[in-house]
Chain A
Amino acid sequence: MSKKILYSLLAMLILTAFVLTACGSAPAEPAAEDTTSEEAEVEEVEEVEEVEEAEEADASEVEVFSWWTGGGEAAGLEAMIEVFNAEYPDIEFINAAVAGGAGTNARAVLATRLQAGDPPDSWQGHAGQELIGTYVAGNQIQSLNEMYDAEGWIDVMPETLIPLISYEGDIYSVPVNIHRANVIWYNPAILEENGLEVPTTMDEWFAAMDTLQATEVIPLALGEQWTQLHLFETVLLGSLGSDAYDGLWDGSTDWSSPEVAAAIDDFAKVLTYTNSDSASLSWQDASQLVVNGDAAFNVMGDWAEGYFRELGMVPNEDYGWAPVPGSVGVFQFLSDSFTLAADAPHAEGAEAWLKTAGSKDGQEAFNPVKGSICARTDCDPELFGVYLQSAMEDWGSNTVSGSLTHGVVANDSWKSEIDTALGLFLIDQDAEAFQTALLDACVSSGPCQ
Chain B
Amino acid sequence: MSRLNLRKNWLYIPLIGLTIFYLIPMYLILVTGFKSFDEIDLQTMWQLPQGIAFDNYIEAYNQLAPYLKNSFKLVIPAALISSILGSINGFVLSKWKFRGADIIFPFILFGMFIPYQSIIIPLVQFMSAAGLTGLWGLGIAHIIYGLPITTLTFRNYYASLPQELLEAAKIDGASMLGIYRHILLPISIPSFVVVLIWQFTSAWNDFLFAVILTGNTEWPITVALNNMAGSQIISWNVQMAGSLIAALPTLLVYIFLGRYFLRGLMAGSLKG
Bound-state CA distance A5–B188 (Å) is: 12
Residue of A nearest to B189 (CB): A2
What mask results when residues 345 to 373 of chain A are scored 1 for a CB within 8 Å of chain B, else 0? 00000000000000000000000000000
29 A-B interface contacts by CB (under 8 A): A5-B189, A6-B186, A12-B80, A13-B84, A35-B131, A39-B132, A39-B136, A40-B130, A69-B229, A70-B227, A70-B228, A70-B235, A71-B230, A71-B231, A73-B231, A74-B230, A97-B216, A97-B227, A98-B227, A99-B227, A99-B229, A99-B230, A108-B212, A112-B121, A116-B124, A285-B42, A306-B232, A307-B232, A311-B38
Q: Does B161 contact A (CB under 8 A)?
A: no
Known pairs A43-B132, A105-B226, A116-B127 / 5 extra A-B pairs, C-beta < 8 Å: A39-B136, A69-B231, A99-B229, A102-B231, A112-B120
- Shortest beta-carbon distance from B48 to chain A in Å: 21
Bound-state CA distance A202–B238 (Å) is: 41
Bound-state CA distance A35–B139 (Å) is: 15
Query: Are B232 and A72 in contact, with the CB atoms below 8 A?
Result: yes
User: A2-B189, A100-B226, A108-B212 are contacts. A70–B42 as well, Cβ < 8 Å?
Assistant: no
Interface residues of B in 73-130 (CB under 8 A from A): 80-81, 84-85, 87-88, 120-121, 124-130
Q: Does B53 contact A (CB under 8 A)?
A: no
Give every chain B residue within 8 A of A170 (Cβ-Cβ).
Answer: none
Bound-state CA distance A100–B219 (Å) is: 15
Bound-state CA distance A109–B124 (Å) is: 10
Residue of B nearest to A71 (CB): B233
Q: Does B178 contact A (CB under 8 A)?
A: no
Give every chain B residue within 8 A of A42 (Cβ-Cβ).
Answer: 136
Give every chain A residue within 8 A of B127 (Cβ-Cβ).
Answer: 116
Interface residues of B in 198-235 (CB under 8 A from A): 211-212, 215-216, 223, 226-235
What mask results when residues 201 to 226 of chain A are scored 1 for a CB within 8 Å of chain B, else 0? 00000000000000000000000000
Bound-state CA distance A68–B229 (Å) is: 10
Query: Are A113 and B124 in contact, with the CB atoms below 8 A?
Result: yes
Q: Size band of the A side of the interface?
A: 35 or more
User: A17-B88, A31-B126, A100-B226 are contacts. A70–B234 as well, Cβ < 8 Å?
Assistant: yes
Give every chain B residue within 8 A of A311 (Cβ-Cβ).
Answer: 38
Bound-state CA distance A130–B165 (Å) is: 66
Bound-state CA distance A188–B90 (Å) is: 70
Bound-state CA distance A368–B230 (Å) is: 18
User: A285-B42, A312-B38 are contacts. A117–B232 as well, Cβ < 8 Å?
Assistant: no
Complex partner residue of A115 from B38, B121, B227, B229, CB under 8 angstroms: B121
Please list the 8 inter-chain residue pairs (A to B) with the smallest Cβ-Cβ separation, ordered nearest first.
A70-B230, A71-B233, A69-B227, A116-B128, A112-B124, A43-B136, A99-B227, A71-B230
Give every chain B residue within 8 A of A303 (Cβ-Cβ).
Answer: 232
- Shortest beta-carbon distance from B231 to chain A in Å: 5
Q: Does B181 contact A (CB under 8 A)?
A: yes
Give every chain B residue within 8 A of A35 (Cβ-Cβ).
Answer: 130-132
Q: Does B179 contact A (CB under 8 A)?
A: no
Complex partner residue of B81 from A16, A103, A284, CB under 8 angstroms: A16
Query: Are B131 and A115 in contact, with the CB atoms below 8 A?
Result: no
What mask results when residues 265 to 292 of chain A are scored 1 for a CB within 8 Å of chain B, else 0? 0000000000000000010110000000
Residue of B nearest to A66 (CB): B231
Residue of A nearest to B228 (CB): A70
Q: Does A432 contact B (CB under 8 A)?
A: no
Bound-state CA distance A2–B192 (Å) is: 12
Give every chain A residue within 8 A of B87 (Cβ-Cβ).
Answer: 13
Query: Are B216 and A95 in contact, with the CB atoms below 8 A?
Result: yes
Q: Does A96 contact B (CB under 8 A)?
A: yes
Query: Are B231 and A70 in contact, with the CB atoms below 8 A?
Result: yes
Q: Does B244 contact A (CB under 8 A)?
A: no
Query: Are B226 and A44 in contact, with the CB atoms below 8 A?
Result: no
Residue of B nearest to A32 (CB): B130
Query: Are A105 and B211 in contact, with the CB atoms below 8 A?
Result: yes
Give every chain B residue within 8 A of A30 (Cβ-Cβ).
Answer: 126, 130
Query: Are A70 and B232 in contact, with the CB atoms below 8 A?
Result: yes
Residue of A nearest to B186 (CB): A6
What mask results when residues 183 to 196 of chain B are scored 1 for a CB within 8 Å of chain A, else 0? 00110010010000
Query: Are A12 and B227 in contact, with the CB atoms below 8 A?
Result: no
Query: Are A9 and B230 in contact, with the CB atoms below 8 A?
Result: no
Q: Does B30 contact A (CB under 8 A)?
A: no
Bound-state CA distance A71–B231 (Å) is: 8
Bound-state CA distance A31–B131 (Å) is: 9
Bound-state CA distance A74–B233 (Å) is: 10
Query: Are B136 and A40 in contact, with the CB atoms below 8 A?
Result: yes
Query: Are B192 and A9 in contact, with the CB atoms below 8 A?
Result: yes
Interface residues of A in 39-70 (CB under 8 A from B): 39-40, 42-44, 67-70
Bound-state CA distance A74–B211 (Å) is: 18
- Shortest beta-carbon distance from A190 to chain B in Å: 18
